[in-house]
């Protein structure tokens, strides 16, 4: 679409339209996605240090426990509790608007500075959502990084699986998903969400055999074609299928996360805030107004083995098929 000004006039007298006023709609439209489902869904908590720690515990394996009448108690050492940690990451979005820009009359915006602050907060949340999924390995270096879901499960969960053989490079298989849901259930947890790329959401809706046996009641006059699975009822609980936009093919650590699907028990994840996100005014330098949206947060996986993931399946035709360009 062109951006040149169209001058209304005549073919041989074009200057006639030079005095016509422009017609610029008083609206600004953005379609860049701003949904942050995991940021919104996970419980929030206050943390009190740049390094946050928590513990997990396990019971002994179930076994027959019959003893002789009158016998003495035999004491055995319990398994040691496991201490996990993550680091608070500082995330920031700066804003700078010149005094001139605030003084003019832009279309669709009353105050450019306030508009940019609102835009920065949306960007801040999107970037945190990206780090929740993709994340880093967790670092206490000068630039602290919070460990995301993938590296939390990769390092501390034994229930994950990489598909092998005939399934490699294909879309997610129903048997593979059920095997992971079963493994989590056997361990004592119950997944409630499957988080996947758009490509794998489409594969679940169109190829899972369970969808062929579903029952729907539609009016005879309703000419719809229904091919969607939003919930999957497995033998080990109902899970909601959540297509997620921020699976990157080039995430930190050169991981292609578009080849990964997560099974999560969402109440076992907490977002901890050392400093909740807020707008911070900055010193004025020259003829410009400055501020930043900044917060300090971490991801707490209360028990990694309440979750799982499958890796190694197809990622889609291209990065653009799953990850927004803006």
| pLDDT tens profile 126-152 | 999 999 998 788 888 889 999 999 999
Compare 247 and 217 and report the one with higher pLDDT. Answer: 247
pLDDT of res. 4: 56
Q: Grade residue 251 by pLDDT with cuts at 50, 70 and 90.
A: low
pLDDT of res. 177: 94
Average pLDDT, the chain: 87
- The pTM score is 0.86
pLDDT of res. 30: 82
pLDDT of res. 217: 59
Residue 309's DSSP bridge partners are 262
pLDDT of res. 83: 95
pLDDT of res. 318: 63
Give the best-scoring range by mean pLDDT among 7-16, 54-63, 206-215: 54-63
CB atoms within 10 A of CB 87: 20
Share of the chain above pLDDT 90, in %: 59
| pLDDT tens profile 17-57 | 666 677 778 788 888 889 999 999 999 999 999 999 999 99
Determine which of 22-26, 62-66, 169-173, 239-243 has the lowest per-residue pLDDT on average.
22-26
pLDDT of res. 231: 93
pLDDT of res. 11: 59
Compare 227 and 162 and report the one with higher pLDDT. Answer: 162
Say whether pLDDT at 240 is over 70. yes
pLDDT of res. 158: 87
Give the span between the Cα atoms of 249 and 45, in whole angstroms. Answer: 31
pLDDT of res. 147: 95
SS3 for 152-188 is HHHHHCCCCEECCHHHCCCCCCHHHHHHHHHHHHHHC
Say whether pLDDT at 216 is over 60. no
| pLDDT tens profile 270-301 | 999 999 999 999 999 999 999 999 999 999 99
pLDDT of res. 79: 87
Domains parsed from the chain with CATH numbers: 37-56+83-212+227-315 (3.90.1690.10)
pLDDT of res. 213: 58
CA distances (Å), 116 to each of 80, 93, 142, 251, 269, in order? 51, 10, 29, 27, 31
SS3 for the chain is CCCCCCCCCECCEHHHHHHCCCCCCCCCCCCCCCCCHHHHHCEEEECCCCEEEEEECCCCCCCCCCCCCCCCCCCCCCCCCEEEEEECEEEEEEEEEEHHHHHCCCCCCCCHHHHHHHHHHHHHHHHHHHHHHCCECCECCCCCECECHHHHHHHHCCCCEECCHHHCCCCCCHHHHHHHHHHHHHHCCCCCEEEECHHHHHHHHHHCHHHHCCCCCCCCCCCCCCCCCCEEEECCEEEEEEECCCCCCCECCCECHHHEEEEECHHHEEEEEEEEEEEEECCCCCCEEEEEEEEEEEEEECCHHHCEEEECCCCCCCHHHCCCCC
User: What is the average per-residue pLDDT within 205-221?
Assistant: 67
| pLDDT tens profile 62-103 | 999 899 999 999 998 888 999 999 999 999 999 999 999 999
pLDDT of res. 325: 85
Say whether pLDDT at 3 is over 60. no
Say whether pLDDT at 321 is over 90. no
């Amino acid at each position: 679409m062109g951006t040149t000004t169209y001058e209304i006039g005549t073919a041989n007298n074009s200057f006639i339209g030079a005095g016509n006023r422009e017609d610029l709609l008083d609206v600004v439209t953005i379609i860049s996605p701003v949904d942050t489902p995991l940021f919104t869904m996970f419980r929030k908590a206050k943390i009190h240090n740049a390094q946050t720690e928590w513990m997990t515990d396990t019971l002994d394996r179930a076994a027959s426990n019959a003893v002789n009448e009158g016998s003495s108690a035999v004491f055995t050492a319990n398994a040691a509790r496991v201490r996990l940690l993550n680091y608070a990451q500082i995330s920031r979005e700066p804003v700078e608007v010149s005094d001139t820009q605030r003084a003019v009359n832009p279309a669709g915006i009353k105050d450019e500075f306030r508009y940019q602050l609102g835009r920065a907060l949306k960007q801040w949340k999107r970037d945190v959502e990206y780090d929740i999924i993709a994340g880093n390995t967790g670092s206490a270096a000068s630039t602290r990084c919070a460990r995301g879901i993938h590296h939390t499960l990769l390092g501390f969960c034994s229930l994950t699986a990489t598909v092998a053989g005939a399934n490699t490079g294909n879309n997610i298989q129903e048997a593979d998903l059920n095997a992971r849901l079963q493994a989590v259930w056997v361990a004592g947890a119950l997944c409630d969400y499957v988080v996947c790329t758009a490509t794998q959401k489409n594969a679940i809706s169109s190829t899972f055999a369970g969808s062929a046996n579903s029952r729907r009641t539609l009016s005879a006059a309703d000419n719809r074609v229904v091919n969607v699975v939003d919930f999957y009822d497995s033998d080990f609980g109902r899970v909601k299928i959540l297509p997620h936009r921020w699976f990157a093919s080039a995430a930190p650590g050169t991981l292609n996360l578009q080849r990964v699907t997560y099974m999560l028990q969402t109440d076992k994840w907490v977002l901890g805030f050392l400093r909740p996100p807020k707008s911070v005014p900055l010193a004025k330098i020259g003829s410009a107004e400055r501020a930043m949206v900044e917060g300090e947060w971490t991801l707490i996986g209360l028990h990694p083995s309440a979750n799982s993931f499958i890796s190694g399946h197809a990622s889609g035709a291209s990065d653009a098929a799953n990850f927004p360009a803006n």
